[in-house]
Copies of this chain bind each other. A is one copy, B any other.
Amino acid sequence: MRDHFEIRDHDAAGRIGRLTVPRAGVTVETPALLPVVNPNVLTIEPERLGAEFGAEMLITNSYIIRSTDRIRDQVLERGLHDYLGFDGAIMTDSGSFQLAEYGDIDVTTAEIIDFQRRIGSDVATPVDVPTPPDVSRERAERELETTERALADAAAAETGDMLVNAPVQGSTFPDLREAAGRHAAATDLDVFPVGAMVPLMNAYRYADVVEAVFGAKRGLDADCPVHLFGAGHPMMLALAVAAGCDLFDSAAYALMARDGRYLTVSGTEHLAELSYFPCSCPVCAAHTPADVRAREDDEAERLLAEHNLHVTFEEIRRIKAAIRSGTLLDLVDRRARGHPAMLDGYRALLDGSDRLERTDPVSKDAFFYTSHESARRPEVRRHHDRLARLAVPDRLLVTESKAPSTHDYDAVWRLKPPFGPFPRALSETYPLTAEVPERTDVAAQEAAARGVEALAEANPETAITVGHDGWAAAALEGLPGGVETEDLRDLGR
């Protein structure tokens, strides 16, 4: 039980939580976005990050501070919060990223944890090894051992009320991620970053990101706060939250702005190519792209960085609102249309719909069928699982139409793609109240056929007749043997 993290609301594997950060004396609501602050270059003043953008927590790099004489002495003297001018929570990274980039750094976990404590960090990080994707299993295992020693060194250090990260590595081996998660959760460390995700995200490998998160979370406890290290593009935040991530950090807002890049929830645009701003944030409501291009370079960069951060925090608020209203998967469904790789990520998420089902609320306002992928949502799976528990008579008609006026069935149930059969008495219960398109699709019909199959398997003695509105052949072929079918269109109903 981790008493510094409290989960308030669930939707799919996503949650709204409260992370108590004792050293800062604050509680941070998750999902949270931590703007990355480069101690050398303050693109936007940290005070403004809190006041204007709503950032409750920042992340900066203790290794850079320690390596830069001019800054180190000031930060040691004044403390990190005073130096940056930020009174929320501050997480610090350790130099692991530099280790991954340059192959070597000149500091141990014991030294950097001590340094982070001395400068006043609220959440410190050990020197783990961010093993890149697609390496040999032997290298991933060897480096994981080094990471686990770093976690042990961090756990042994004197940290006071400073929280400490326990990074979860394992490259692209889901079982290693799981083992790493289990090891990390067994320490008394506090926050659990899933590491080395940047190479996957740079290559748009969102399905692999989801699989790494699922792997780590299989090993972690449900109440562990999970940080997706290096993830801050608004396009992928809903997907990552739905997979179970709570904390994110964005260097993208500033780095992209430096290159003239403009973030949106469906991808990245270039200022040079934009004729219109597809946004109404305070920057975009007051300027046109031509206005911004006409500014001095550093002014244009600052305006772009502000937009990038506005759209990112906007997405975080949208995700929280979606979790509250039970519509997070609807949001992920929308975001999946930003890029084919996002669709891959969504499909990978739905491959884990048994995981999602465990924490998905049993009842919500409405189920919207908005794509073929909707047929694979956890609510559909749950309905199929429940079908086996319903009492069924000997002769049953399940039909997309009304009950016929005369018949000799023992009962007439409804048949509603993508769920399949259910007694009429359940018509007003979630998710069977679902709104579905009039122009249905074969994915919904096939899912309904799986529902019939689940019912038939649990009730081998029952004679089932299916009345359908002209289902596609692929759906009819999914019905179990022994089921009679009637095409309602032939009956002129």
Taking beta carbons and an 8 Å cutoff, which residues of A are in contact with B?
Answer: 52, 207, 266, 269, 273-282, 284-285, 310-311, 313-314, 317-318, 320-322, 324-325, 330, 333-334, 336-344, 347-348, 368-372, 435-439, 441-443, 472-474, 477
Query: Which chain B residue lies CB-closest to A318?
Result: B278
Say yes or no: A370-B474 contact (C-beta < 8 A), given A276-B320, A276-B321, A317-B277: no
Chain B residues lying within 8 Å of A325, measured Cβ to Cβ, are 273
In the complex, A313 Cα to B276 Cα: how many Å? 11
Asked whether A310 lies within 8 Å of B280 as measured between CB atoms, the reply is yes
CB pairs A–B below 8 angstroms (24 shown): A207-B439, A266-B330, A274-B321, A275-B320, A277-B317, A278-B314, A278-B318, A278-B321, A279-B280, A280-B313, A281-B281, A281-B285, A282-B282, A337-B337, A338-B370, A340-B369, A340-B370, A340-B435, A340-B436, A341-B437, A344-B438, A371-B371, A372-B441, A442-B474
Chain B residues lying within 8 Å of A284, measured Cβ to Cβ, are 314
Chain B residues lying within 8 Å of A441, measured Cβ to Cβ, are 372
- Which 3 residue pairs are nearest across A and B when measured between Cβ atoms? A278-B318, A280-B314, A276-B317
In the complex, A318 Cα to B264 Cα: how many Å? 11
Asked whether B372 lies within 8 Å of A311 as measured between CB atoms, the reply is no
Residue in B281, B314, B324, B334 whose beta carbon sits within 8 Å of that of A334 in the complex: B334
In the complex, A314 Cα to B474 Cα: how many Å? 42
Asked whether A334 lies within 8 Å of B339 as measured between CB atoms, the reply is no
In the complex, A281 Cα to B347 Cα: how many Å? 32
Asked whether A372 lies within 8 Å of B370 as measured between CB atoms, the reply is no
Chain B residues lying within 8 Å of A274, measured Cβ to Cβ, are 321
Chain B residues lying within 8 Å of A266, measured Cβ to Cβ, are 330, 334
Query: Which chain B residue lies CB-closest to A264?
Result: B318
Chain B residues lying within 8 Å of A318, measured Cβ to Cβ, are 276, 278-279
Residue in B317, B322, B437, B472 whose beta carbon sits within 8 Å of that of A347 in the complex: B437
Chain B residues lying within 8 Å of A310, measured Cβ to Cβ, are 280, 285
Tell which of A269, A439, A473 has the most Cβ of chain B within 10 Å: A439
In the complex, A340 Cα to B440 Cα: how many Å? 10
Asked whether B439 lies within 8 Å of A348 as measured between CB atoms, the reply is yes
Chain B residues lying within 8 Å of A273, measured Cβ to Cβ, are 325
Residue in B277, B338, B369, B474 whose beta carbon sits within 8 Å of that of A474 in the complex: B474
Asked whether A279 lies within 8 Å of B435 as measured between CB atoms, the reply is no
Asked whether B275 lies within 8 Å of A337 as measured between CB atoms, the reply is no
The minimal Cβ–Cβ distance linking A310 to chain B, given in whole angstroms, is: 4
Asked whether B438 lies within 8 Å of A311 as measured between CB atoms, the reply is no
The minimal Cβ–Cβ distance linking A54 to chain B, given in whole angstroms, is: 9
Residue in B320, B347, B370 whose beta carbon sits within 8 Å of that of A339 in the complex: B370
Chain B residues lying within 8 Å of A436, measured Cβ to Cβ, are 340
In the complex, A212 Cα to B224 Cα: how many Å? 53
Chain B residues lying within 8 Å of A472, measured Cβ to Cβ, are 474
